[in-house]
A and B are shown apart, each in its own frame.
Chain A
Amino acid sequence: MAPDSSLSDRLFAVDLDDDSSPLFRYTFYGTTLLILLISLFPFYYLLMLALSSPGETTSAGLLPAGFDPTSFIGAFQAVPFHLYMRNSLIIATGVTAFVLVFASLAGYTFGRMEFRGKRPLFLLLISISYFPGATFIVGLFKLLTGNVTVLGVSSPNLFNSPAAVGLPLTALSLPFAILLLTTFYSQIPDGLEDAARVTGTTRIGALYRIIAPLSAPGFVTAGILTFITAYNEFFFSQLMTTGSPQNWSPIVWGLLRYQTEVSVRYDLMAAASLIGVVPVALIVLLAQRKIVSGLTSGSIKG
């Protein structure tokens, strides 16, 4: 968001200025180098493992042991990892779309309207997000396997469909997205909407003409964070699926299959891990400003 970047630029103006002693400079750059090393070395090691020859992976270190880049192809032959990737990407996209629709409706209401019961309702929504996933699992399992009957209508059996993982992930990421969009909508100046209403625009008209076009930045931030959350999730992704790629099992199962099925092919595991990271790494590279502003605004106010 624009105000955030200018604010950070202003505040970052404390510089490593001329009065900083050599000792401070060395400590500073030493620490920075260490931080870079900690963050990036694991990926480097994965790459070295992936490039090693199949039987020699345990002697890979700073350099690959032997050289065999075919593990990036072999990984797909050993386990249909592309199918698991496809499932994860489709589920994460679907969850993001779903969450954005519901969170923007709620965020708009909480951020821009005064109504009875607003505060307790908002607190209920947010406090649910602090419940561990484990407290949902038995109820969700019952619900999604079609064992719940309300007024004679049974809930559909969604097991082995993308919704079996998608709905739990929606429930999981909805509160944070609502929090984020509530903050976002409350920052749009009232004047714009008031002006539209005074000049005769209807409520729905004001939503459509004034609020919707201004929503794009908040939408993108909430969407990115929801997508990453959904793609990265472990608990429901494992427990609500059976493990077969035909039944919409996500990458959690794909990667764990390497550990059980090709247990000594560490090169394949490393290659598959690197491939699985690509979507989220790309998002971070392209949208890190959005991620930073979203994470900080959501957590401080929460």
Chain B
Amino acid sequence: MASSNRTATQKASIVPNSLRRSGAYVNNWVENLSETKFAYLVLAPTLVIFTAIALWPILFTLRTSMYADSFSQFTGAFVGLQNYVEIVTGQRGAILIRPFFDLSNPFQSILPTTMIYTAVSVVLITALGFVQALVLNKTFRGRSIVRTAVLIPWAVPIVIQGMIFYLMFIPGGFGTRILHDIGLVGARPLSNSASTVGIVTLAAIWKRSAYVALIVLAGLQSIDEHLYDVAKVAGASRWQQFRMITLPQAIPTLMVAMLLTSIGSMRVYGQIDAIANCSTMPSITCAVVGTFNGSLYGTASALAFLTALLIGSVSMIYLVVLSRSRAGGI
């Protein structure tokens, strides 16, 4: 106590008087602010940086999406929604890697590929995540080892996730040999669009199920244990307990998990670039990158906002269903 007092006086003598006075002034000034003003004072640095590097870039990209592409300048003339219309109606096919919407060739056109990948990956990621959560919800020897093992793929960089599945499915790779032997894929699966979509989906399941597992696990832990006690007394089997209690109680969290997984899946790009390439599996974000690298900023911006629009509408569907199931009063 005595020693800390001494250092305090020493400090005070080192700090020049003028600085101490201005420090006291600032302290006083802050003290007399209203709660709202003080809140905005503390928030100010975050709001400034956030506006500069997040809000402004989004608004600028939105603005750019309404200007024509230009080779000599950043953008050409104002064209309104023409970029969007021409992308969706297929008139921009020449500058995109692949047609935007062509159902006769779903794995080689942008929107169908993205949606097929999203639907399949979301269902399978959620399914594996749910199973992982059910296992982790039990007490057993070695549970923490299983939890660590499940979590490690989640922490792997996307480029390494891609590298792993690239190496497994090169001609002669371990995965190729197994799947080729049972006739699922050809000898060069990564040059075939349909099997590439399958492999990118496998990579997604491997890396992203852990996140679902954690969300669902939190949901499972909030289930009232008395429900199980009552079920046991009533003589319900384990399967009945699962079907009548665990599953209905877990559905809202499963929905949240599916929503978050869908948002991630619809913007897939890195995995594709690391495993195969964007012309084999042309997702929407692939098309953004292709046009961005070609300095076609108008088209790139419009494609980016089409992605946002897609994500927004799919999220709305989930939220409506989710609020209905909650209003249903489980």
Contacts and interface: CB of A to CB of B under 8 A. Distances in A.
B138 A234 contact: no
Contacts of A292: 147, 151, 214
B241 to A, nearest CB: 11
A129 B158 CA distance: 19
Contacts of B304: 132, 134-135, 137-138
Contact residues of B: prevailing secondary structure: helix
A232 interface: yes
B289 A300 contact: no
A79 to B, nearest CB: 13
Contacts of B267: 132-134
B159 A139 contact: no
Interface string B205-220: 0100001001101110
B292 to A, nearest CB: 6
B249 interface: no
A47 B17 CA distance: 64
Nearest to B56: A139
A259 B57 contact: no
Contact of A35 (B131, B168, B225): B131
Which of under 10, 10 to 19, 20 to 34, or 35 or more describes the interface residues of A? 35 or more
B160 A255 contact: yes
Nearest to B239: A24
Interface stretch (B7-15, B92-100, B295-303): B295-303
B19 interface: no
A28 B158 CA distance: 31
A209 interface: no
Nearest to B177: A61
A130 B42 contact: no
Given A288-B151, A296-B217, A234 B159 contact: yes
B211 A295 contact: yes
B214 A296 contact: yes
B172 A36 contact: no
A59 B315 contact: no
B284 to A, nearest CB: 8
Contacts of A8: 221
Interface in B122-180: 128, 131-132, 135, 137-140, 143-153, 155-160, 163-168, 170-174, 177
Interface in A26-71: 28, 31-32, 35-36, 38-40, 42-43, 45-46, 49, 58-61
Interface string A260-291: 00000010011011001100110111001001
Nearest to B54: A171
Interface in A221-278: 228, 231-235, 238-239, 251-252, 255-256, 259, 266, 269-270, 272-273, 276-277
A202 interface: yes
Contacts of B147: 288, 292
A15 interface: yes
Contacts of B150: 35, 39
Interface in B12-71: 26-27, 30-31, 35-36, 38-40, 42-43, 45-47, 49-50, 52-62, 64
A31 B253 CA distance: 22
A252 to B, nearest CB: 5
9 contacts: A12-B139, A35-B132, A39-B152, A128-B55, A136-B57, A137-B57, A143-B57, A296-B214, A300-B215
Contact of A252 (B60, B61, B159, B288): B159
Interface in A125-158: 125, 128, 130-143, 147
A238 B57 CA distance: 18
Contacts of B206: 38-39, 42
A168 B61 CA distance: 14
Contact of B53 (A36, A138, A170, A299): A170
Given A132-B311, A134-B267, A285 B61 contact: no
Contacts of B38: 113, 203
Interface stretch (B78-86, B191-199, B269-277): B269-277
Interface residues of B, number: 104
Q: Which 6 A-B pairs have the closest CB atoms?
A: A139-B57, A234-B270, A58-B172, A139-B60, A134-B304, A115-B39
B305 interface: yes
Nearest to B41: A109
Nearest to A140: B57
A186 to B, nearest CB: 14
A119 interface: no
A28 B135 contact: yes
Nearest to B24: A202
A136 B163 contact: no
Contact of A39 (B149, B165, B260): B149
A53 B7 CA distance: 65
Contacts of A31: 131, 135
B228 interface: yes
Nearest to A167: B53
A233 to B, nearest CB: 7
Contacts of B138: 12, 14-16, 28
Contacts of B231: none
B39 A285 contact: no
B103 interface: no
Contacts of A128: 50, 54-55, 58
B213 to A, nearest CB: 9
Of the candidates B128, B146, B167, B253, the one having the most CB atoms from chain A within 10 angstroms of its own CB is: B167
A91 interface: no
Contacts of A259: 166
A139 B315 contact: no
A59 B215 contact: no
